[in-house]
Amino acid sequence: MTYAAPQARPRGGRPRTPDIFDERIHRIARVAVPLVMAVVFGYWAAANQRYGGPITVGNFLFGFLSGIVFFVVYLALQAVAPKLRREMHAAAWAAFIGSAVGFLVSQSNESVLRCIWLGLIVAAGSFVLLFYRYYTREDAQGRRRVT
């Protein structure tokens, strides 16, 4: 029987996962994923605002504008955040996620305090997860580690 020849492991001891997509697919995904997320966000905000009532022109425009703002802020953060140190990188994404959740909750006529608390809780949890991710994959200057 024949077997595959063993390969040397990278310096981190962990085998790297193969990248099955080429660079063109990654460039498309950097815009397509936020665009799909913006459409979902806009629809969700509009649905929260109308409470299951009929879709109106004003409701449609509100969802459309909410999605556009989400998309623009996401792309801006996607361009700026990797240049920040890992603490600020995680804080920027956490603030974005928390404010998006707080905004969605605010469209369902909840109290302002509930919207703020839910946004802060989600932002804090996101910060912990993102900081851990960046802490284990970047050095202190924010450069990605090569494993």
pLDDT beyond 60 at 5? yes
At residue 145, the pLDDT reads: 62
More confident residue, 11 or 138: 138
At residue 9, the pLDDT reads: 58
State percent of the chain over pLDDT 90: 54
What average pLDDT does the segment 112-138 reach? Answer: 92
109-118 residue pLDDT tens: 889 999 999 9
Alpha-carbon dihedral angle through residues 90, 92, 98, 101, given to the nearest 10 degrees: -110
pTM: 0.79
At residue 95, the pLDDT reads: 96
Whether 44 contacts 104, CB under 8 Å: yes
